[in-house]
Amino acid sequence: MTEPGLRLPPIEDIDVEDLAALPRGYRYELHHGNLVVMTPTTFWHKRVARRLMLVLFAAGLDVLQDCGVKGVRPRDLRLPDLGVLVQPAPEDPAEYSYLPPSAYSLVIEIVSKNSPNGEFVAKRLWYAEHGIPEYWIVEETPEGSKDDGVITIMRLDEDDDKPDHVVERSLLVSELEAEYRRG
């Protein structure tokens, strides 16, 4: 008999504060109290995250990786790949694992083709309901380029009964880099 690779404590009524007690080396989210364990990312995913982080940092933005966004309920937490803090930051984030949604002006989810985790609908709506002004989804190009990705840029629309992020435009990561270089 083999031993399981991941040992979790009994999970009942888990909330955001309990995540710190879970085994290290994994990424966790809470979706309305349901624990979601995310798989390690691909190297394509890591490279795209680095490229976007460098572009946003060069633009003078305070961008962080794997930043926690705590929902209004104690059993709700999302962990976007990148997050840009509002300026000035509402508090010094150095001591925190997660911040309230109001601390973010932009969150970015990078989707590997084999591991979508609700980024296109559930997370988009969750970020909108929590008032985050801008949401980007990055996915592989249709031809499967190992060096690029397609960014869908969405902005918060609060005109309807239910807030949502609506598509503003799409472009390649390489095109975004070129735009920022041109200034």
**Domain at 116, CATH number:** 3.90.1570.10
Crossing angle of the two packed helices 173-182 and 43-58, in degrees rounded to 10? 20
Q: What total number of domains does the chain contain?
A: 1
Q: Is residue 172 part of a domain?
A: yes
80-116 per-position pLDDT tens digit: 999 999 977 766 767 777 889 999 999 999 997 766 5
The answer to whether the CB of 34 falls within 8 A of the CB of 63 is no
Q: Is residue 24 part of a domain?
A: no
116-159 per-position pLDDT tens digit: 566 778 889 999 999 999 999 999 999 989 999 999 999 999 88
Closest CA to 15 of 70, 67, 65: 70
Domain of 143 in residue numbering reads as 41-182
What local confidence, expressed as pLDDT, does residue 2 receive? Answer: 44
What local confidence, expressed as pLDDT, does residue 107 receive? Answer: 98
Average pLDDT over residues 73-83: 86
Selected residue with higher pLDDT from 139 and 77:
139
Q: Is residue 32 part of a domain?
A: no
- Across 15-19, 20-24, 103-107, the highest mean pLDDT is recorded for 103-107
Q: Is residue 162 part of a domain?
A: yes
168-181 per-position pLDDT tens digit: 999 999 999 999 88
Indicate whether 26 pLDDT > 80.
no
Q: Is residue 112 part of a domain?
A: yes
DSSP 11-28: -SS--GGGGGGSPTTSEE
Q: Is residue 143 part of a domain?
A: yes
Q: Is residue 36 part of a domain?
A: no
Distance of alpha carbon 106 from alpha carbon 112, whole angstroms? 20
What local confidence, expressed as pLDDT, does residue 17 receive? Answer: 72
The answer to whether the CB of 65 falls within 8 A of the CB of 57 is no
Q: Is residue 1 part of a domain?
A: no
Structure tokens at 171: 């472009």
